[in-house]
Amino acid sequence: MTKRKSSVDDLFHLQSVTNPQLSPNGNEAVFIKTHIDKEENKYISNLYHIDLRTDEVTQWTYGDHRVTSPKWSADGKQIAFLSNREEKNQLFLLSAKGGEAKKLTSFEKGVSSFEWSPCGTKIYFDAPVKEGKTFTDKEKKDEKKLPEPVRVTKMKYKADGVGLLPQDSYRQIGVIDIASGDVSQFTEGSYQHSLQAVSHDGKKMVIGVNRAENLDFEFRQPLYLVDVETKEETVIVDEIGYYGGARFSFDDHYVAFVGSDRTYQNATHGHLYVYDTRRGNRINLTESVDAPVGDYTVADHQQGASAPSVVWTKDNQLYFQLSTMGDVRLYFGTLEGELYPATPENEHVYGYDVNRDGDFALLAVSDLTHPGEIYKQTIATGERQALTSFNKQFLDEVELIQPEQIVFKGEKDWDVHGWLMKPYGYEEGKKYPLIVDIHGGPHAMFANTYFHEMQLLSAQGWGVLYINPRGSHGYNQQFVDAVRGDYGGGDFTDIMDAVDYVLAEEQWIDEQRLGVTGGSYGGFMTNWIVGHTDRFKAAVTQRSICNWISFFGVSDIGYYFSEWQIAADMKDVETLWKHSPLKYAENVKTPLLILHSEKDFRCPIEQAEQLYITLKSMGKETEFVRFPDADHNLSRTGKPNLRVERLNEITGWFEKYL
């Protein structure tokens, strides 16, 4: 059978398979499958079950809602999860024998996260609660209520994907008795608490909270070991930086967690730490590894994928993710400092769990031409067995293009890593356009994972080049830090060197038909490129930055991100302006399409408005498309119809000019 090429509508054929969770005895597992319903224009996810003795896969929840965060009770008889069946995420309970899920909470502001108590009779959770109110208090709905002004007194008063932050609401930790439904509040005070972990004996928990009065310039989350009975706190870590993902060892002697200090601000590598609860000291288990712990992948397929920061085995071995050279691999570690990769190269492990004995792991794995499924891997041998095949029909029908990995020497003799895709239907001897696609962040990375957008661009008959320039994660600390204070410098050089490299190596690329696109930082870089070279015949900038001066005050992160990344604030507008693509608008000769979301609070739409009006006033070839009801994450989690329109705009622009 002849396979077809990738299409925009593949968004509706792809299945996202995520979040494998092993039962305590290791004989069962649950996971989440998400698909996009075209008619309903929404994402739908449900809970699935695997019997690991028979490999039978069964759907356990139904409906047109979303399910997240499944967790087994300690005895393996129940699974709790969050679901937005009633708009806000609430806590539900399902028997491992099947049946209907029981709703446990009806909180006004929903539930943020939860952890089982080991006794199985109660569940700890954290959830927003209005000051002076309780979790269960209901606000009166008044349809005739008039709009009211909002008084802002803090600098952190809005957030992308959320909007204006409540000024009098705080996340508190509580506990619910499953049998009676009684809810009590564990923490108090006008602070944002996060529930991290509950010990296996039920006597301790780990919480995160910053109790500083003014959080505007507080970039840290201290972790505390708390006695459940007395509420006495012991500091685990209280340093500048964000720490979390805590997990107790099975004997409760250790707490593992991940985090990074601010040595290189937000470019600092994440590490895995272990705290000894008896001695009160901690060690950095990955200090010798010059790569970040965690998953820093940029892609557009997986929905709601989350992986544990760390998983313990009974003999105090640990498993965690590491981003390295475009891979996200599962790593194994011991308290003695041994560290080994547990999964192979050239793939993206975006979810995992490991059984208590350390015999096998459940992995959610994707690669460059596979959207991802759940696998069982024997730890000792590396042997794998596929447990799900939800994307089999898609893979049988669609011809996916295999990206070829490239490495070339950049400035300072650094290796720069990336991928080059030939166009669909490639024929030897013919010339084809090339699209350069630039990721956001900048401290993220393209990876050996399935990327629908890249396959779609190739399907149009274009080559695709995407690289990890300096500033990208997955490489050494010096490399990821090198972009700070040098936006438009060495990073621009890396991208242009990549173009020169593939032009010299590949005769099929038509250097007269080059296109460039990118979002967020990639949008900034697209704007920068067209203001500094006319090599590209078409460009599409998305959710971009063009003016660091205004960005400082309008972005939800601008007032500190600008200093971290550009090394300047409003006392040094000359430096901010020097790094602003808007300054170089007069040089632009490339037809530029500007795409931006109306509700983007990270890179607000005024950035696009400035760029469009400036270019238009100068007689440049440009158009501006605004996406309603969309935020900074349109390309990944936006409303499906808008994601389709975005892709159509990108391909339409390049088709017109290339």
Give the pLDDT confidence score for residue 139 in this predicted structure. 80
Alpha carbons 45 and 68: distance in angstroms, whole number = 8
The rounded Cα 72 to chain-centroid distance in angstroms is 24
Which of these ranges, 65-74, 127-136, 435-444, 469-478, has the smallest mean pLDDT?
127-136
* Cross-strand pairs, 115: 124
Give the pLDDT confidence score for residue 24 in this predicted structure. 97
Q: What pLDDT, in 10s, does the model give residues 391-402?
A: 999 999 999 999
Give the pLDDT confidence score for residue 258 in this predicted structure. 98
One-character DSSP codes across 446-461: --SS--HHHHHHHHTT
Which one of 45, 579, 632, 635 is the catalytic residue? 632
Domain 401-657's class? alpha beta
8-394 to CATH, choices 3.40.50.1370, 2.130.10.120, 2.60.40.150, 1.25.40.340? 2.130.10.120
Q: What pLDDT, in 10s, does the model give residues 504-542?
A: 999 999 999 999 999 999 999 999 999 999 999 999 999
Give the pLDDT confidence score for residue 594 in this predicted structure. 98
Q: What pLDDT, in 10s, does the model give residues 561-592?
A: 999 999 999 999 999 999 999 999 999 999 99
Task: Give 313's Cβ-side CA count (13 Å radius).
Answer: 18
Note the pTM of the prediction, 2 decimals.
0.97
The type of residue at 451 is F
Residue 550: closest CA among 494, 605, 588: 605
The per-residue pLDDT of the chain, averaged, comes to 96
The rounded Cα 483 to chain-centroid distance in angstroms is 21
Q: What pLDDT, in 10s, does the model give residues 176-217?
A: 999 999 999 999 999 999 999 999 999 999 999 999 999 999
Residue 212: closest CA among 190, 230, 195: 190
Token reading at 646: 């975005």
Q: What pLDDT, in 10s, does the model give residues 105-121?
A: 999 999 999 999 999 99
Tell me whether residue 632 is one of the annotated catalytic residues.
yes
Which one of 249, 520, 555, 580 is the catalytic residue? 520
Q: What pLDDT, in 10s, does the model give residues 429-460?
A: 999 999 999 999 999 999 999 999 999 999 99
Break the chain into its structural domains and give their ranges: 8-394, 401-657
Q: What pLDDT, in 10s, does the model give residues 343-354?
A: 999 999 999 999
Percent over 90 (pLDDT), the chain? 94
Instruction: Tell me if residue 316 falls in helix, strand or coil.
Output: coil
Give the pLDDT confidence score for residue 132 in this predicted structure. 87
Per-residue confidence band for 250, with pLDDT thresholds at 50, 70 and 90? very high
Percent over 70 (pLDDT), the chain? 100
Q: Is the pLDDT of residue 247 over 80?
A: yes
Token reading at 363: 């992995």
Q: Could you tell me the CA-to-CA distances from 271 to 177, 247, 309, 323, 477 in Å, in that order? A: 36, 14, 10, 11, 12
Give the pLDDT confidence score for residue 143 in this predicted structure. 74
Give the pLDDT confidence score for residue 166 in this predicted structure. 87
The rounded Cα 354 to chain-centroid distance in angstroms is 22
Per-residue confidence band for 218, with pLDDT thresholds at 50, 70 and 90? very high
Average pLDDT over residues 479-498: 97
Burial class of residue 458 in the structure, from the number of CB atoms within 10 Å of its CB (0-12 exposed, 13-18 middle, 19+ buried): buried
Q: What pLDDT, in 10s, does the model give residues 29-68?
A: 999 999 999 999 999 999 999 999 999 999 999 988 999 9
In degrees rounded to 5, what are phi and psi of residue 8?
A: -60, -40
Give the pLDDT confidence score for residue 412 in this predicted structure. 81
> Do 463 and 493 meet the contact criterion of CB atoms below 8 Å apart?
no
Give the pLDDT confidence score for residue 475 in this predicted structure. 95
One-character DSSP codes across 194-206: EEEEE-TTSSEEE
Angle at which helix 521-530 crosses helix 490-505, to 10 degrees, equals: 70
In degrees rounded to 5, what are phi and psi of residue 619?
A: 80, 20
Residue 357: closest CA among 306, 311, 321: 311
Alpha carbons 355 and 383: distance in angstroms, whole number = 15
Q: What pLDDT, in 10s, does the model give residues 364-416?
A: 999 999 999 999 999 999 999 999 999 999 999 999 999 999 999 987 888 99
Q: Is the pLDDT of residue 174 over 90?
A: yes
Pairing label, strands 102-103, 169-177: unpaired
> Do 419 and 601 meet the contact criterion of CB atoms below 8 Å apart?
no
